[in-house]
Amino acid sequence: MIDLPLLSIVIWTPIAGGLWVLLLAGGERSGATVRAVALAVSLLTFALSIPLWAGFDPGTHEMQFVERAAWIPAFHIHYHLGVDGISMPLILLTTLMTVLVVLAGWEVIRYRPAQYMAAFLIQEGLMVGAFSALDSILFYVFWEALLIPMFLIIGIWGGPRRIYATVKFFLYTFLGSVLMLVALLYLYSEAGSFAVLDLHALPLGLTAQKLVFLAFLVAFAVKVPMWPVHTWLPDAHVEAPTGGSVILAAIMLKLGGYGFVRFSLPITPDASSELAMFMIVLSLVAIVYVGFVALVQPDMKKLIAYSSVSHMGFVTLGFFIVFALVQSGDATGAALGIEGALVQMISHGFISGALFLCVGVMYDRLHSRMIGDYGGVAHRMPAFAAFMMLFALANSGLPGTSGFVGEFMVILASFKAGAWIAVLAATTLVLGAAYTLWMYKRVVYGPVANEGVGALEDVGRREFVVLAVLALMVLLFGVWPAPLLEVMGPSVEHLVEHLSRSKL
Amino acid sequence: MTPPGFVLPDMLPAAAEIFLLGMACIVLVVDVYLPERFRRFTYQLSQASLAGAALLVLATFPDTRATTFEGAFVADPMAAVLKMFILVVSGFGLFYSRVHLEARRLMRGEYFVLGLFAVLGMLVLVSAGSFLTLYLGLELLSLSLYAMVALDRESRLASEAAMKYFVLGALASGMLLYGISMIYGSTGSLGFSAVAESVGAAATSGSGMRLTLVLGLVFVVVGVAFKLGAVPFHMWVPDVYEGAATPVTLFIGTAPKIAAFGMLMRALVEGLGALQADWSQMLVVLAVLSMGAGNVIALAQTNIKRMLAYSTIAHVGFIFVGVVSGTAAGYAASMFYVLTYALMALGGFAMVIWLGSAGEEADRLEDFRGLNERNPWFAFMMLILMLSMAGMPPFVGFWAKWSVLREVVASGMTWLAVVAVLFSVVGLFYYLRVVRLMYFDSPEEKAPVSSLADMRVVVSVNALAILALGIYPGALLRLCAAVVVP
């Protein structure tokens, strides 16, 4: 099993499948074949990614499933793949969510279904590539290339203001990325290598570190997104089709977080340490202020989008409280913070994806995302109401759901770093509950609001399966996060140890 | 001392040029006697001439630098690679021209003869071993192009463009000659190697000659900048691009850029390499202005040919950025850029020709509206071309920008790299606009766009080559690095 280039297979299967789906569309045939092929490809990819977990050795921080081949030897660029405990779970998240997204778009997408499915499959391969690339240029190629399918997904199948939203999304992220490219080229001129692990070991002066850190920050902060560069996200989410929102929230945002742990922190530890307080404050603003912003949204998708920004604030908070803890010699606390942030990334992937799917289920029926257009949905869609209840509670961080685990770990770690940080961060438990449950109450409870709601039908079998899978995941990692933590453990400990050594 | 007398020079290094000259004359004569219905034969003969010249270039591919005609003609690996690309790109260009001209019943033999002479001019230009040969090649190229722009004499726009091109081009040629005369005055020679020697001596000794040299250099740089279309010598570009028939625009916008890069390498690097510190400064200014003005003004265009004209200006800025570093790797990066840019521009203009192949000119951006519904395959090809020009991976345009940026960062001018990438964000916006129109808007007319089978194949090969080079750029990058010798 080790001999098979598993990562390559997981990257290229969906891309090849996507191209196949595109070719199938040649004769304007019915969407049935296209959907069947797309589902088969996404299931196959998911099945192929399972050995990554099953065959993963949780006892080491070393990269596993490594593949390395010369790509552009003249400039030391390699086709270099590998995963550790940080990236492997994200790859499984990607392959699982893509299956669900293909299912969710089943009958809903009537306009050019082949291009829709192909875009998601190709995007899946590119995202896995970004998570597993160990060569910074290879990473950059995947990271940039995956903007193209998302740009088309929002632009072609999105809502009325889709063009504004998607161009804004593209330009924001592109602006961030090009500065990262310059930073990578600078690092190459210093290290003579594009390999990520070589860059980790590269000694750098403080000024250089700070500049590189800021270049990375622009790229990753836009992607996460951190306050105040988050404004593309609500626009993109609102206008994107359901599948687009799910992938955007569940996986794309995680690329930003992943970028911090894979690039910013280990390559520029001293600059990160110097600027940690700045980053903590930005994270807290995201958590608290954006939480308040979410409270007043009349549009469900926008509300969930702001809630995403707020929850991703926990991820960046978890990463940057580490430095205070490392300085006080508390390695366990530091590891707790990073692990919490990583668990939060996975958990937020499931929860936000599920919430967007819930909105999608309602939108497919009533063609409205406005909270005011709903009310009393529970009378007509009891099964749906139960699922949404679970996801709403998970989003507010109820113990027993995966939403609780990550947030709790980060809050616990931040207590060690400073009580005021923890207190501010903990307000999210109140705020998150307030905006999520209030929305839930207005949409689902109460008397049937209008005829449209009165005519609603409960979730069909396909929708049930999609929501049930996510519910299972949310509960599973809520009560038993140990497998996840076990996988991440050594990699996180290694990272903390790396951060505790100065590069100066 | 060899005794004065006539010695037959070694013709072999110039075999391709001599062959092409002969063929151009034959095509000219044959065409006169061809009845109208056999006009396509002229086209086929021209393509065969290009193919023959390409084979000769390959057959005489030099391992090292060789000179002939008393050093006035240089045959080195760089020239051979540039010539191959010029010939291949021109071959594509003639093919696209045929499609356009036949659809408009403008098929005339002169077009192809002029095209062949222009190609000959480009080949001479990249092989120039002295300022005189350089000027000869440049004028042969330019005069053919002026005539090609004016070929459709019914069109007022084309005549205006030709006039403008001619007047400004003559001015630039005059400047170039003036610069050459100053350099000749201070060094006493026209050959690049002899000039390089005296300039090297003058640059180190710090004599008064240096001032004359730098003054001469300024005019040479202006000449090069004009030919490439760098700001502030870009005024002709948008008008000529818009006014000329699309295949002529395609012709002007692709292969001559490769030749102009060769001219830059010969004149500035080989001839005036000792003044690198001086011309680098000038090129930095030109590069920043070109990238800035090109990208910003392109935003406001509604005509795709004008938009591509400003985009060319911006790309020229990028090409200069690579040269500025003054290292062999930097020149190689610029060479890679110019070669891949020619491929991308070729595809871009081919799309305009294809869309207008029904007879109606389709050079407004609006004409691309809803192309995904009318012909998804061509829309996808255009998507590849536009995003490649914008510098998105996994297309080759990314590697072009990447290699140029790498060298400029390596030479310590990170600020220039930052400026360049920020302007490319601006550039992304107008490339995205084309994608946006094609994919997100509904078409004005629903009729699917049909196309000739051979057009479909050639455009697809062109666009897919850009994707393929983007996935595996290594070979071409290595080739460029291998043939550029500072």
Cβ–Cβ below 8 Å for A74 and B402 = no
CB within 8 Å of A153: residues ≥ 6 apart:
A116, A119, A120, A123, A240, A241, A243, A244, A247
Q: Does position A156 have pLDDT exceeding 70, yes or no?
A: yes
Give Cβ neighbours of residue B162 (< 8 Å, ≥ 6 apart): B146, B147, B149, B150, B240, B243, B244
Whether residue A28 has pLDDT greater than 60: no
- Mean pLDDT over B475-486 rounds to 83
A72·B414 Cβ contact <8 A = no
Summarize the confidence of residues B18-35 as an average pLDDT.
Answer: 90
**B421–A179 C-beta distance less than 8 A:** yes
Distance CA B140, CA B143 (A): 5
Whether A447 and chain B come into contact, CB under 8 Å, resolves to no
Of A72, A167, A181, the CB nearest to B473: A72
Structure tokens at A13: 């299967």
Q: Cβ of B421 and A72 within 8 Å? A: no
User: What is this structure's pTM?
Assistant: 0.91
Rounded Cα–Cα distance for residues A388 and A466 (Å): 12
Residues A82 and A11: beta-carbon distance below 8 Å:
no
Report the 10 Å Cβ neighbour count for A193.
Answer: 18
Q: How far apart are CA B386 and CA B348, in angstroms?
A: 8
Dihedral (C-alpha) B194, B197, B198, B199: value to the nearest 10 degrees? 110
At how many degrees (to 10) do helices A419-444 and A300-320 cross? 160
CB contact under 8 A, A144 and B422: no
The pLDDT tens digits for B445-458 are: 777 777 778 888 88
How far apart are the CA of A138 and the nearest CA of chain B, in angstroms? 10
Tell me if B72 sits within 8 A of B191, measured CB to CB.
Answer: yes
| Dist CA A395 CA A350 (whole Å) | 10
pLDDT, residue A494, reads 87
Q: What single-letter amino acid sits at A438? A: W
- Taking the Cβ of residue A79 and every Cβ of chain B, the question of whether any pair is shorter than 8 Å is answered with no
Reduce the DSSP state of residue A201 to 3 states and report it. Answer: helix
Residue B152, min C-alpha distance to chain A (Å): 39
Contact status of A155 with chain B (Cβ, < 8 Å): yes
pLDDT for the residue numbered A396: 87
- Interface residue of B406, B416, B428 to substitute, partner A, most A CBs within 10 Å: B406
B417 touches chain A (CB under 8 A): yes
Tokens of A56: 């993963």
User: In angstroms, rounded to a whole number, what is the distance separating the alpha carbons of residues B257 and B339?
Assistant: 9
> In this model, does residue A81 exceed pLDDT 70?
yes
Alpha carbon distances (Å) from A435 to A292, A386, A432, B290:
8, 18, 6, 51
CB contact (8 A) between residue A72 and residue B474 = yes
Q: What integer is the mean pLDDT of B426-434?
A: 89
Nearest to A156 among B403, B439, B474 (CB): B439
Chain segment B2-16, per-residue pLDDT in tens: 556 777 778 888 889
Cβ of residue A115 closer than 8 Å to a chain B Cβ: yes
Distance from C-alpha of A153 to C-alpha of A156, rounded to nearest angstrom: 6
Domain ranges across chain B: 12-483
* CA–CA min distance A172, chain B (Å): 9
Residue in the block written with tokens 């020009």? B389
> What's the pLDDT at A1?
45
Closest CA of chain A from B228, distance in Å = 26
B60-79 per-position pLDDT tens digit: 888 888 888 888 888 889 99
Each residue of A195-220: pLDDT tens digit?
A: 888 888 888 888 888 899 999 998 99
Strand pairing of B66-68 and A77-83? unpaired
CB contact B457 to A (< 8 Å) = no
Across the interface, whether the CB atoms of B439 and A171 are under 8 A apart is answered no
Q: Across all residues in chain B, what is the average pLDDT?
A: 88
Tokens representing A46 are 């998911």
Token couple for B163:
């006039």
CA dihedral for B82, B88, B94, B96, sign (positive or negative) = negative
pLDDT at B2: 56
CB-based contact B440 A155, cutoff 8 Å:
yes
Distance CA B239, CA B256 (A): 17
| pLDDT cut 90: percent of chain B above it | 40
Residue A107 has what pLDDT?
A: 77
- What average pLDDT is seen over chain A? 86
For residue B130, what are the β-bridge partners?
B191
pLDDT number for residue B359:
62
**For the segment B218-253, what is each residue's pLDDT rounded down to a tens digit?**
999 998 898 888 888 888 899 999 888 888 999 998
Virtual CA dihedral for B426, B430, B436, B442, nearest 10 degrees? 150
Q: Does A148 reach chain B within 8 Å, measured CB to CB? A: yes
**pLDDT value, residue B227:** 85
Residues of A in contact with B478 (CB under 8 A): 74
- Chain A nearest CA to B274, separation (Å): 26
Of A140, A152, A189, the CB nearest to B393: A140
As a whole-number percent, the residues of chain A with pLDDT over 90 amount to 12
Q: From the list B417, B436, B439, which residue is nearest A182 (CB)?
A: B417
Q: Which of B216, B437, B264, B465 is nearest to B346 (CA)?
A: B465
Q: What amino acid occupies position A18? A: G
User: H helices of A321-418, where?
Assistant: 322-327, 331-366, 377-380, 382-395, 402-417
Tell me, what's the pLDDT at B207?
65
Express each pLDDT in A267-310 by its tens digit.
888 888 888 889 999 999 988 898 898 888 888 888 999 998 98
What does the alpha-carbon distance between residue A207 and residue A200 come to, in Å, rounded to a whole number?
A: 17
Q: What's the pLDDT score for residue B120?
A: 94
Residue B466 · residue B397 · CB < 8 Å: yes
B positions 381-410 inside 8 Å of A (CB): 383, 387, 392-394, 398, 402-403, 405-406, 409-410
The string of pLDDT tens digits covering residues B95-144 is 988 888 887 777 788 889 999 999 999 999 999 989 999 999 999 999 99
Residue contact B392–A179, C-beta within 8 A: no
* Per-residue confidence band for B337, with pLDDT thresholds at 50, 70 and 90: very high
Q: Is the pLDDT of residue B483 over 70?
A: yes
Give tens-digit pLDDT for A174-190: 888 899 999 999 999 88
Residue A136 · residue A260 · CB < 8 Å = no
**pLDDT of the residue at B385:** 92
pLDDT band at B1 (very low <50, low <70, confident <90, very high): very low
How far is the C-alpha of B67 from the C-alpha of B65, rounded, in Å?
A: 7
Q: How buried is residue A1: exposed, middle or buried, by Cβ count under 10 Å (0-12/13-18/19+)?
A: exposed
Q: What is the pLDDT of residue A457?
A: 82
Beta carbons within 8 Å of B243's beta carbon, 6+ residues apart = B149, B155, B157, B158, B160, B161, B162, B164
State yes or no: pLDDT of A422 exceeds 60. yes
Q: Would you say the C-alpha torsion B340, B344, B349, B350 has a positive or negative sign?
A: positive
Is residue A313 classed as helix, strand or coil in its secondary structure?
Answer: helix
Using a CB–CB cutoff of 8 Å, tell me whether B174 touches chain A. Answer: no
Gap between the Cα atoms of B323 and B284, Å rounded = 9
